Amino acid sequence: MAPRRIPLSSPDIAPEDLEAVAAVLRTTSLSLGPALPVFEQAIAGYVGTRRAVAVSSGTAGLHCIVRALGLGPGDEVVTTPFSFVASSNAVLFEGATPVFVDIDPRTWDLPPAAVEAAITPRTKALLPVHVFGRPCAIEAIGDLARRRGLAVIEDSCEALGSTAGGRHAGTFGTAGVFAFYPNKQMTTGEGGMIVTDDDALADHCASLRNQGRAAGDGWLDHTRLGYNYRLPDILCALGTSQLSRIEQFVKMRAGVAAAYERRLSKIRGVVLPAAAEKRHRISWFVYVIRLEDRYDREARARVLGRLREAGVECRNYFAPIHLQPFYRERFGFREGAFPVTEAVAARTIALPFHNRLSDADIDAVGAALENALAAER
């Protein structure tokens, strides 16, 4: 008999979410309707920004900000190679250049001193990422940006509910972005949200998401080049409903992370995620462990295979951006360019993680991991 499958992720959908979607379907306003501003205002109110602009994905949100800031050929944006590829792709969409900085080996975060060292006269923005929901050194990076007169594009796509010093991730920079893919803390299926206190930037992004139509334009008037980055009312309604339970979700996910820490802390060969810094709160997106340095990429692949054979869904997280084929071809990156990122990425394993993962599931994952690693000794 096949082992019981433990999924990598699972959205938390409640009856009220279904009713919120059904309520929109009973109307004639399925896009650009009343559910859109309700969702935007709810997100802005939750994180504490003046404005929020709903878009079709976190990637779309990052792209809108890059374009609205006027970044383009010849401009550089300092960012991390240890992230989902969209964070750097959004820079490339407009012809600007991502400049990578190697990560801290403990936090997997951008070290502010290394970020400052990477700034050149061509640098126009910093793009830090709150990887896996763990707040990055955003306070120090924000201070650095202010001193150097740079914009901050805050990739908070994995960090809704994370805070630093009581302030929400996504609110420290010029603008931030959240994403609502099904494995995120809350979901709209697909979707994203730009947050900012800059009214002009918000208006520009709202125009870009709707084919360049600006406030006051007629239905077929388009002030600027834009895109179809709209978020339908169905998904906005789902988002508003989900957001009403976000603090519950954050608490539940923290409980799952704590249970993992208790179960995995004594397993030889495993490095657990770094704890939150003082005054920071992690809103856990995924639970990613790292194998110790004695295990290489091939050993990690064998461990992943054994976990899957035991019914435990798992995945390597992330592959370094600079070693993606397109980045190698365009920029000439080779292995060894960012050794810490490469060493971490070769050993990471994302374990099953969602709001309602049971203690029995966590124990089963722990047992399967112990067995998988024992086979390597």
Rounded Cα gap, residues 148 and 145, in angstroms: 5
End-to-end CA distance of the chain: 28
State the Cα torsion 265-272-143-169 to the nearest 10°.
-90
Q: Give the contacts of 58 (CB within 8 A, at least 6 positions apart).
A: 86, 155, 157, 177, 178, 179, 180, 181, 192
The kind and range of the H/E element at 371 are helix 359-374
Interatomic CA distance for residues 203 and 51, integer angstroms: 9
Q: Answer yes or no: are the C-beta atoms of 312 and 364 closer than 8 Å.
A: yes
Check if the beta carbon of residue 305 is closer than 8 Å to that of residue 294.
Answer: no
Rounded Cα–Cα distance for residues 169 and 155 (Å):
9
Distance between CA atoms of 130 and 294, rounded to whole angstroms? Answer: 27
Joined together, the tokens standing for residue 97 give 């250049």
Q: Phi then psi for 178, rounded to 5 degrees?
A: -115, 160
Active site residues: 184
E strand or H helix that includes residue 207: helix 199-208
- Of 132, 228, 114, whose CA–CA distance to 185 is shortest? 132
The counts of H helices and E strands in the chain are 13, 13
The closest of 36, 1, 375, 9 to 237, measured between CA atoms, is 36
